Amino acid sequence: MRHGDAVWFLKQMEFVQSSEKRFEGFEGSVLEAGSGPIGFFELMENVDVTAQDTLMELYAEHLPYSTLGKRGAATYTGTPVPQFEDRYRFVVCSNVLDHTADWIEFLRDCCVLLEPGGELLLITDSRGAPMEGHTQVFSPQQLRMVLRILGAQTFLVDRTEPVTDGHCDFRNYVRAVF
């Protein structure tokens, strides 16, 4: 399981860990959009997670650690984000935007699924030139501008770090209230 990744992610979002499987304020409904074959949060307490990836059915068929349906706190699904009707307290996107066909459309589809006062928890790389597997090009400033246009009211975490390994130009950490 990816519990260590969940802990790291939630600490980056400045949630305070209150027990091994619980973070203060991180409770309720969670959509983990673009979770990959196994999500972060299935071992967490006080959350009801929908772990979504459009390739989930293929992952479950070909990878022994992937599944469809309920496991722990997570329900795994291949339903595309635009087809969801429920509203969520949190929408999590970790290293997804630069892999999408249209990062703005994907963000829009995610943000409309937030309940009033809900939070987008986002970690994403950004770059000035496309590379294989990472076709989306946007700056940290463009990312913040789009989030404001989509309705972000407050940024509880708003941090950008330069990256010098050649994979990307910046890593962005955002916790935005909508």
CA–CA separation, 120 vs 84, rounded Å? 16
Q: Quote the pLDDT of residue 27.
A: 98
Between the CA of residue 55 and those of 27, 31, 74, 123, what are the distances in Å?
Answer: 26, 16, 16, 20
Give the mean pLDDT of 70-93.
98
pLDDT value at 172 more than 90 = yes
Q: Give tens-digit pLDDT for 5-14.
A: 999 999 999 9
Q: Please, what are the domains in the chain?
A: 3-177 (3.40.50.150)
Which carries the bigger pLDDT value, residue 131 or residue 61?
A: 61
Q: How many Å apart are CA 78 and CA 80, to the nearest integer?
A: 6
pLDDT at 129: 87
> CA 84, CA 70: separation in Å to the nearest integer?
17
At residue 82 the predicted structure's pLDDT band, cuts being 50, 70 and 90, is very high
Segment 87-92 shows an average pLDDT of 99
Residue 135 reports pLDDT greater than 90: no
pLDDT at 35 over 90: yes
Q: Which pLDDT band, with edges at 50, 70 and 90, does 131 fall under?
A: confident
For 30, the token pair is 């969670």
Vertex 92 angle, CA 122 and 8, to 5°: 70
- Cα 95 to Cα 19, 24, 77, 151: the distances in Å are 26, 24, 18, 21
Q: What is the pLDDT of residue 128?
A: 87
- Nearest to 33, CA basis, from 103, 92, 119, 95: 92
Query: Residue 136: its pLDDT value, please?
Result: 87
In one letter, which amino acid is 12? Q
Q: Which residue has the tokens 């203060």?
A: 24
Beta bridge partners of 71: 74
The larger pLDDT score, comparing residue 93 to residue 133, is at 93
